[in-house]
Structure 1
């Protein structure tokens, strides 16, 4: 288990702070003529939106049900349309509208950290502790071109704000402790000190859990322990200038019921420098520049976190150590000229992947072998223009030049082509409208993006398209054309929204799992990549009604549909129709909530097809879970939240859960179940 960063002192500090705050609670209450409303536990997409519903904003510092998220994927599942491919208790890999991987652009403070595992055991969201950020923004579909290698499904941004201080209070922060079933305990601290010109901010957290039990009381290997620490130093010499230096480290380990190896190390190091200058002239409103470096060092093995059992073609204790070095750079300017607003810029990304392996821990003495080098340079422009007081036109265009090199010695010896170079365009146009009294808002947008195959699609499969020499030379870039529409309505006690999409994907990169002459994965089959043409469509919708001043109900639905048009079959690894219903009672100091999640069966599957992490095994069964939550505001600074997830202790498996590993006693292609009844409590304090 981890020994480097236990954060035990953090427990004592949080406890002392809570005790001190509670001790003065009574006197505070006497001085306060009114009380703030009780905090509400987040259970579904009820956060505020932008661009008439196209962009969603969430506050990750709020309590959330099910039990507060241990990583980015666990939090995003609370937003309609998102799901996760689960291997165990943490570090799932997100899907959005049935799409996966680099089709979803995930950014932290404007930078991308890609992870290193060839089977995405350390997906980008694995390195994200949501509560360390102030805001999460989701842009649905290909409706922005402002970031490198634009995501075709969605762009997700985890962002931190610049802290502001009062003259008589040179500090601010938030701390929380979560305690739950199965040994779950989390500590989170976010503290900043400074003045008008300088500040420093520390985000630190630790999360730990034992393996959980499903509804039948069966233990599912899923324990984890992880920590993150990020330090930011800022300089604000005047109200228009901001310079920021940040550095971070993290590590962790995780057991996986659905893999033949566990994650023994998830080390991250990062360093970044950012500069922002506003109001440079009459038309030049803002200049942004940043450069970020990250290094991921990931170890997976079959012996340190589990009892070694020969399985999956591994007859000896083995370990694999992979790494990725990434550099992101970006320069962007915002210009306002009469009614026209223009954001334009350039960006660059360089990343290099390496690996080493061996019996036991022998890899430590081996040199790292570089296998991939990737770099892209892009230029973009986004423009918005008000056509009418009720209509706004937003459009953007981008071009990326991308070069990928295959550095494997075996490829050179075989005489394969070892360099791919592509210049790929993307763009969108969107009309946003709002009626005169702002009760009805809508948007309609058309987007196009070409996506270079990522590391996992170029290097992890055994082969590419039929007739290709190897995978690196065997898959083509994807080309996605998608129509997005949305509607928001709010009047009186009623609020509703919907987002609808339909798309055509040429050269969709699909993984097909079967026996190969060389290479193997779980259950004796491995992935081959191929391009197919696909069709996608679906919608997310929500409705909320305020029955009284204290009683509120809301519901949401999410449905994704996909077709492999080339083979006239279903597109694989798409989560089924899902509905969420929430009933709340909110008083001055406390709130009570009941949350029902209902998931339909998925009968549209493509057997043994999917992505680099998972594939369809069988049609899934429908299920529903009922959860309760409550919160209480102890005073203006301290909140207490409690929850019971899966109250009825249902036994179920998510459609996207991986098959359990044979080494844990699972039958061939038997999915592991999700967590049973789970109790938790969260105490948080702002200061």
Structure 2
């Protein structure tokens, strides 16, 4: 049984009272013809969220990454309202392989404002799988920190003799903190062999507020500019998403075409000096699955084009007065293909074979602005960056007997990278010598990488399971890590920051791929029927050779504002920790209904072995506990989140410490046959806290007057009353 560990009404009800939410599963049920064997053997450290267990989370967030809140080993880097970055066991961003409907999406932004999960709205998500730590080679490469697979709702077809099937659902949401409001719609029409679906969503939010004043009022100001009190500047956003899908099935074959369109007209970032002033994305995704006498076959081709724009939005623009702004544009084009087969060698053995190709192009340019240092030329941050990846893999899974299963996989990757010539805003000493030296380099790089994974699972009886895993995973640097080049302008260095720490960064063309060796073990204990109680413990250890970390930049511009300008270098790092999760049925069908309890404890420790420094943005020890009541159509839960102080910080980045805190959340839902109402009170006690991975607060661009120092940690959200209503038709 895969434990559903999000502290939500639906998740606990599903885990403890099978069938209690039968009405929920009628919402767009999944009808798939793909072979189950196309999904690799799930490790004990993996977790899964289906349609039912996602219902409550959707009421409380418009950020798809946050649907994973409460999963073992998962945390989040703070960012914009729909763009946080998932972290698995202390590793984040490009170190985690994220696939959306099978597409390997790539952030096309120097600040990574458009990570893969920002391209799908929570209302469109059908299921999520998290491979925490050890991910089989068949589910993706070019990563060292695990894999996240997010899939939209699967196509549905009419039953034989049913005729035309027409159905859908519509929802609205409101969250008091930030005055967030949104709506979504999903409709479909299908025959027995053809299905067509449309989904659309829109969400809009103002700046959210912290639980108390975190900055004293500055000098008199007009307009928004200086935000007095507890308002967190540059945290507003709007996001619109649309998708259509067409699917055809015949016998054991399914062919799907999905077309997606996203427009984010604006999104503020409290921990970046820039804001998103536009993000337009077009996606096309063709997918085939089929079953044959010899096994199963899967194929996919996709294309995604992104046009991303940044500048100062109103909260930051006020600080710079009449400055002309700093327009920045990025275009990314991502084309990929996958072929994967499951071959049934025998009753015992399955062989998975596959090949994957990805062609990525990125251009990042900043138009001249005004008549000063940002003129008269266009600044080319990355000019026609190229990153092409070709992989082949093989994976052997053997079920030796009912108690023992093994899996062994090898993946070979070739990553080729290059970029064109660059130029600065002008030919002064600030840019000319550095751009000339960069243009004279041989910038082409080719990495030949190997991944190896091994898993053994032993189930001695119906009440316990044990597992041991080993993986050697490799990740090549991204285009920004290798090819950002300007060192003499602090302003430019600040713009190249995908960490949210307020510092400035420059790339390093000579970076080597990261190689992570991970060893993990896991144990699961439960009652024979896996309904009354369960506990899982999974410690792990990872050593990363050529870990890409920040280092002092002796050739960079000197700054005196409290932040630093940094470069990147290969070093050696290690991470270790453990995830502990459990659940317990407290009472069933009592006078007051059924009661359940669950908890998740996460711990990770990261160290740079080369320098002796701590690793950046490591989530401190944290615990979630929840108790839920299910009675009639009501489901009610009380949840507490406890986080210890973050005292181990990375000195080279001047990372800031945070205090420990505890939050109380209350949730309730009521379900009718054709409708569902969710309400929640998050941070019910209105506790002020700084989220440990929130980054440096630069939401207003610079410090004015008195108050908190420039670069304080972004404060967490204060009390919020959340509600959503979903109607099926």
**345, 359, 374: which is aligned to 2:354?**
345
Which stretch of structure 1 is more off in the superposition, 300-309 or 450-459? 300-309
The Cα shift of 1:86 comes to 1.3
Whole-Å separation in 1 of the counterparts to 2:609 and 2:319: 42
Alignment of structure 1 residues 409-488 onto 2, 5 Å: 409=422, 410=435, 414-437=439-462, 439-460=463-484, 471-488=507-524
Whole-Å separation in 2 of the counterparts to 1:547 and 1:640: 25
Query: In 2 relative to 1, CA 582–247 (structure 1 residues): closer, same or farther, beyond 3 Å?
Result: same
Deviation track 1:448-497 (CA, whole Å, cap 9, x = no partner) reads 01211112321347689xxxxx8443311111110122222221622111
SS of structure 1 residue aligned to 2:138: coil
SS of structure 2 residue aligned to 1:146: helix
Whole-Å separation in 2 of the counterparts to 1:119 and 1:520: 20
Q: 2:601–2:622: 8 Å Cα contact kept in structure 1? A: yes
Aligned to 1:248: 260
Aligned to 2:726: 684
Alignment of structure 1 residues 9-48 onto 2, 5 Å: 36=21
Whole-Å separation in 2 of the counterparts to 1:427 and 1:672: 39
Aligned to 1:186: 182
Whole-Å separation in 2 of the counterparts to 1:624 and 1:532: 35
Is 1:79 paired with 2:101?
no
Is 1:582 paired with 2:616?
no
Whole-Å separation in 1 of the counterparts to 2:561 and 2:90: 23
Aligned to 2:158: 165
The Cα shift of 1:354 comes to 0.6
Whole-Å separation in 1 of the counterparts to 2:128 and 2:466: 22
Which stretch of structure 1 is more off in the superposition, 542-551 or 185-194? 185-194
**343, 358, 361: which is aligned to 2:367?**
358
Whole-Å separation in 2 of the counterparts to 1:193 and 1:411: 59
Is 1:110 paired with 2:102?
yes
Aligned to 1:669: 711
Q: 1:462–1:518: 8 Å Cα contact kept in structure 2? A: no
Is 1:175 paired with 2:170?
yes
Is 1:628 paired with 2:653?
no
Whole-Å separation in 2 of the counterparts to 1:57 and 1:50: 13
The Cα shift of 1:88 comes to 4.3
Q: 2:412–2:448: 8 Å Cα contact kept in structure 1? A: yes
SS of structure 1 residue aligned to 2:319: coil
Alignment of structure 1 residues 94-109 onto 2, 5 Å: 94-109=86-101
Q: 1:514–1:608: 8 Å Cα contact kept in structure 2? A: no
Alignment of structure 1 residues 312-327 onto 2, 5 Å: 316-327=324-335
Q: 2:63–2:81: 8 Å Cα contact kept in structure 1? A: no
Whole-Å separation in 1 of the counterparts to 2:486 and 2:652: 15
SS of structure 2 residue aligned to 1:643: strand
SS of structure 2 residue aligned to 1:569: coil
Which stretch of structure 1 is more off in the superposition, 218-227 or 600-609? 600-609
Aligned to 2:418: 405
Whole-Å separation in 2 of the counterparts to 1:63 and 1:50: 26
The TM-score, its normalising length taken from structure 2, stands at 0.81
Which stretch of structure 1 is more off in the superposition, 321-330 or 488-497? 488-497
SS of structure 2 residue aligned to 1:63: helix
Alignment of structure 1 residues 165-564 onto 2, 5 Å: 165-166=158-159, 167=162, 170-181=165-176, 182-216=178-212, 218-221=230-233, 222-236=235-249, 238-252=250-264, 253-279=266-292, 281=293, 283=294, 285-303=295-313, 306-310=316-320, 316-338=324-346, 339-359=348-368, 370-409=383-422, 410=435, 414-437=439-462, 439-460=463-484, 471-491=507-527, 493-512=532-551, 517-518=556-557, 525-549=564-588, 550-564=594-608
The Cα shift of 1:667 comes to 2.0
SS of structure 2 residue aligned to 1:349: strand
Deviation track 1:247-296 (CA, whole Å, cap 9, x = no partner) reads 111011211222221111111111122222212x3x2x112111100011
Query: In 2 relative to 1, CA 600–525 (structure 1 residues): closer, same or farther, beyond 3 Å?
Result: same
Whole-Å separation in 2 of the counterparts to 1:669 and 1:412: 33
Which stretch of structure 1 is more off in the superposition, 65-74 or 651-660? 65-74
Which stretch of structure 1 is more off in the superposition, 505-514 or 106-115? 505-514
Q: 2:683–2:718: 8 Å Cα contact kept in structure 1? A: yes
Query: In 2 relative to 1, CA 165–518 (structure 1 residues): closer, same or farther, beyond 3 Å?
Result: farther
Whole-Å separation in 2 of the counterparts to 1:677 and 1:426: 45
The Cα shift of 1:96 comes to 1.4
Aligned to 1:602: 646
The Cα shift of 1:60 comes to 5.3
Q: 2:534–2:582: 8 Å Cα contact kept in structure 1? A: yes
SS of structure 2 residue aligned to 1:318: coil
The Cα shift of 1:593 comes to 0.9
Whole-Å separation in 2 of the counterparts to 1:347 and 1:587: 49
Deviation track 1:85-127 (CA, whole Å, cap 9, x = no partner) reads 2134331222211112211000011111112111212222222
The Cα shift of 1:84 comes to 1.7
The Cα shift of 1:638 comes to 1.1
Aligned to 2:695: 658
Deviation track 1:613-635 (CA, whole Å, cap 9, x = no partner) reads xxx522210011101111111x2
Aligned to 1:641: 678
Query: In 2 relative to 1, CA 413–599 (structure 1 residues): closer, same or farther, beyond 3 Å?
Result: closer
Aligned to 2:426: none
The Cα shift of 1:382 comes to 1.3
SS of structure 2 residue aligned to 1:548: strand
Deviation track 1:28-82 (CA, whole Å, cap 9, x = no partner) reads xxxxxx9857979xxxxxxxx9735232111256333595321222222332322
> Structure 1: 5+ residue runs without aligned partners?
1-33, 41-48, 465-469, 610-615
Which stretch of structure 1 is more off in the superposition, 69-78 or 573-582? 69-78
Number of residue pairs matched? 626
SS of structure 2 residue aligned to 1:233: strand
The Cα shift of 1:518 comes to 4.2
Query: In 2 relative to 1, CA 440–411 (structure 1 residues): closer, same or farther, beyond 3 Å?
Result: farther
